[in-house]
Amino acid sequence: MGTATQPLTLGIETSCDETSVAVVAGGRKVLSNVIHSQVDLHREFGGVVPELAARDHLERLPHLIELALEGAGVQSQDLDLVAVTRGPGLAGCLLVGVGVGEGLAAAWSKPMTGVNHLWGHIYAALIARPDLEPPLLGLVVSGAHSDLIRMTAHAGFQVLGRSRDDAAGEAFDKAARMLGLGYPGGPALDRLARTGDARRRPLPRPSLPGLEYSFSGLKTALLYRLRDLGEAAGPQDRADLAAAFEHSVVESLLEKLDLALAAAPCSEVVVCGGVAANTLLRRRAAEVVGGRARLTLPALDLCTDNAAMIASAGHHAALALGLQRAVVDPSLNW
Ligand code: KG4
Ligand code: ZN
């Protein structure tokens, strides 16, 4: 067993294309966080193939569990809780993680809790910053979500705004495909944008009233711009368009964060999820938040999917809500 103040949680994450297992002490101290990315498996298809992803999670989990326990220097009997991503995510992939987690918890006679993946992204920031506590204002930007939330207490979230259509990560992935960058698109577009100039071929910045986002119009604008350029689009044009696209997405994300912060000041701001690995977003978020609040951006490997954040969310949610209530309905986003 972990100590009374530092109980040990085994986290399992299989919601999309990363298989990850972690051991976290006291919900904050990462003892191990083993991550296997499936990018090589899906690359030739240009995106995630759900059936292949699910099968690969199942094949790799047993070994990753061994590695995570070994890396943490603990044995199964030392664990206090098993925390597994329950949703949102790809149904077949989630089923694998939940099935394995339930099996382990039963075999080891340990309690298990289902974890909301989006809560996990927020808890990555609590790992990154040991003294960070709610209330906080969060911008969660992942492959399927662009959500502005207020975290009022542990396991207590209110959605302030979200995307009406594509999520920011999805928009980056689609733009990358249009620019011939393939999968995984977000990091490739980030690299290309570093060699471009956003002012040379500007794209519109989406603007909806209030705290809502929309990225589908921007995506269409890029499509038309590329179509108009046709064969004449050289490498520098593509880099400039990548930079312009990135600029529009980032400024739109931060415009609403700025509005939310102005409407209800909060001393802690968190930007997290896979898109929070983006170079420009990280730099501009610091500028936009400025001295109004303390900004926490998890390190890159805690922004993209990982099981340490799931273990942390599971630990805190089980403490705040009790095990049963911490089990999340996969159809719920928050
Ligand atoms: O949170 P995450 O790892 O998985 C989901 O929960 O969806 O986020 C994945 C998303 C993908 O859309 C990916 O393209 C995007 O995060 N992403 C990035 C960068 N790194 C990952 N987008 C822009 N720039 C990056 N550096
Ligand atoms: Zn995620």
Q: Is 80 in the pocket of ligand 1 (CB under 6 A)?
A: no
Instruction: Specify the residue for token string 């939310």.
Output: 260
Distance 234 CA to ligand 2 centre (A): 34
Q: Is 190 in the pocket of ligand 1 (CB under 6 A)?
A: yes
What is the predicted pLDDT for the residue at 15?
97
What is the predicted pLDDT for the residue at 329?
57
Question: Which structure tokens are listed for 193?
Answer: 């944008």
Pick the ligand that lies closest to the CA of residue 187.
Answer: 1
In 3D, which of 76, 124, 268, 243 has the Cα closest to residue 176? 243
Looking from the CA of residue 144, the nearest atom of ligand 1 is 7
What is the predicted pLDDT for the residue at 321?
86
Distance 169 CA to ligand 2 centre (A): 10
Q: Are strands 8-13 and 18-25 parallel, antiparallel or unpaired?
A: antiparallel
What is the predicted pLDDT for the residue at 325?
53
Pick the ligand that lies closest to the CA of residue 275.
Answer: 1
What is the predicted pLDDT for the residue at 266?
97
Contact between 156 and 234 under an 8 Å Cβ cutoff? The reply is no
The angle, 0 to 180 degrees and rounded to 10, between the axes of the packed helices 185-193 and 168-178 is 70
Instruction: Annotate 150-193 with three-state secondary structure.
Output: EEEECCEEEEEECECCCCHHHHHHHHHHHCCCCCCHHHHHHHHH
Q: Is 185 in the pocket of ligand 1 (CB under 6 A)?
A: yes
What is the predicted pLDDT for the residue at 322?
82
Q: How far apart are CA 123 and CA 118, in angstroms?
A: 9
Strands in 136-141's sheet, in edge-to-edge order, are 156-161, 146-153, 136-141, 268-272, 294-296
What is the predicted pLDDT for the residue at 333?
72
Distance 14 CA to ligand 2 centre (A): 10
> What is the full per-residue pLDDT of the chain (334 aa) written as tens digits?
788 779 999 999 999 999 999 999 999 999 999 999 999 999 999 999 999 999 999 999 999 999 999 999 999 999 999 999 999 999 999 999 999 999 999 999 999 999 999 999 999 999 999 999 999 999 999 999 999 999 999 999 999 999 999 999 999 999 999 999 988 899 999 999 999 999 999 999 998 999 999 999 999 999 999 999 999 999 999 999 999 999 999 999 999 999 999 999 999 999 999 999 999 999 999 999 999 999 999 999 999 999 999 999 999 999 998 876 555 555 557 8
Ligand 1 site-directed mutation target among 42, 122, 172, most atoms within 8 Å of CB: 172
Q: How far apart are CA 175 and CA 207, in angstroms?
A: 19
What is the predicted pLDDT for the residue at 182?
87
Pick the ligand that lies closest to the CA of residue 175.
Answer: 1
Query: Ligand 1, atom 13: nearest CA belongs to which residue?
Result: 186
What is the predicted pLDDT for the residue at 4?
75
Contact between 109 and 124 under an 8 Å Cβ cutoff? The reply is no
What is the predicted pLDDT for the residue at 30?
98
Residue 73 exposed, middle or buried by CB count within 10 Å (0-12, 13-18, 19+):
exposed
3-state secondary structure of 45: helix
Q: How far apart are CA 269 and CA 257, in angstroms?
A: 9
